[in-house]
Amino acid sequence: MLDKEVVHGGMPKRVEKAKIALINAPLEIEKTEFDAKIRINSPEQMKLFLEEENRMLKSMVDKIVATGANVVICQKGIDDMAQHYLAKAGVLAVRRVKESDMYKLAKATGARVVTNIEELASSDLGYADLVEERKVETDKWVFIEGCKDPRAVTILIRGGSQRVVDEADRSIHDAIMVVKDVVENPAIVAGGGSIEAYIAKELRSWASTLPGREQLAAIRFAEALEVIPLTLAENAGMDPIDTMTELRSKQNKGSKWTGVDVKNTQVSDMYKLEVLEPAVVKSQIMKAATEAAIMILRIDDVIAAAKAEMPKGGKGHEGEEGAGGEGMGGME
């Protein structure tokens, strides 16, 4: 859908089985790049000049109509006379569409964006079952529906207030990103802090094999990971000590998907409860947190910047303040 309206009142507001031309070129007479003047000495010459302009515009429209297009979506402007010819041919037209919307329309309809009208062919046209102008509240929008195998769609969000719309927008965006991550990397892990508890258990087991102080670092890393299930337990009103004790016990017995079930305030198998997260998101979170911790640990000194003291005379320079003081003294 486009936040635009049909450019001419005589054009159809609804076109079924639409053949769509996407044009990134103006349907108007462009100014020449060089400075030139035309001297017209009589009304007949003026008439011939205007007729030639109209002939050029009609030639553009005839070229578009010859391809079989009955919907024109233009990224640039459309001259009033070109609008008249398009309306006469029964073509629905929209002008000054954003470049990003043109790109999405091409993906949705299968059309190719053409930059030269002379090169437009029927093979460049896209298809939609319906193109229609509709009024949504006080605004007019153009809806393109029934595209074959669309690779871009629009989600229309409506609500009682802007705050409700913004919240719905964020929720839908998050849901789409989760689907995107799962499609691109089809792997999931259980939530509820189960994966953090499992990694913490494995780290403790690995730490016992380290001979030096690295063992302490590995243990502290494991403790840091357990903050996630611990925080979930506290937020759910559960006893954090009892919860972590039970969680570690079940993890050690091989129940690797055991986590904190905040809904039922107990330790449960989160995989069976279908509390799941994309593996790529969880991996990225852990990488980002680890990199941030490493960055902080590498700081071996902090230099505190002292506040600059203001000059004794106020904001201005001492010379200017002194001059002002003497002037006032003379007036007294």
Encode the chain (332 residues) as per-residue pLDDT tens digits. Answer: 899 999 999 999 999 999 999 999 999 877 666 666 767 777 776 777 677 788 888 999 999 999 999 999 999 999 999 999 999 999 999 999 999 999 999 999 999 999 999 899 999 999 999 999 999 888 899 999 999 889 999 998 888 889 999 999 999 998 898 888 888 888 889 999 999 999 999 999 999 999 888 999 999 999 999 999 999 999 999 999 999 999 999 999 988 899 999 999 999 999 999 998 889 889 999 999 999 988 888 887 766 666 767 666 655 444 444 444 444 444 43
pTM: 0.63
Query: Would you state the pLDDT for residue 136?
Result: 85
Q: With the C-alpha atoms ordered 65, 66, 69, 70, is the resulting torsion angle positive or negative?
A: positive
All structural domains of the chain? 14-29+43-151 (3.50.7.10), 157-184 (no CATH), 189-297 (1.10.560.10)
Query: Would you state the pLDDT for residue 34?
Result: 63
Query: Would you state the pLDDT for residue 314?
Result: 55
Query: Would you state the pLDDT for residue 33?
Result: 64
Residue 193's Cβ-count burial label (10 Å; 0-12, 13-18, 19+) is buried
CB < 8 Å & 24+ apart, contacts of 201-206: 201/248, 201/251, 201/252
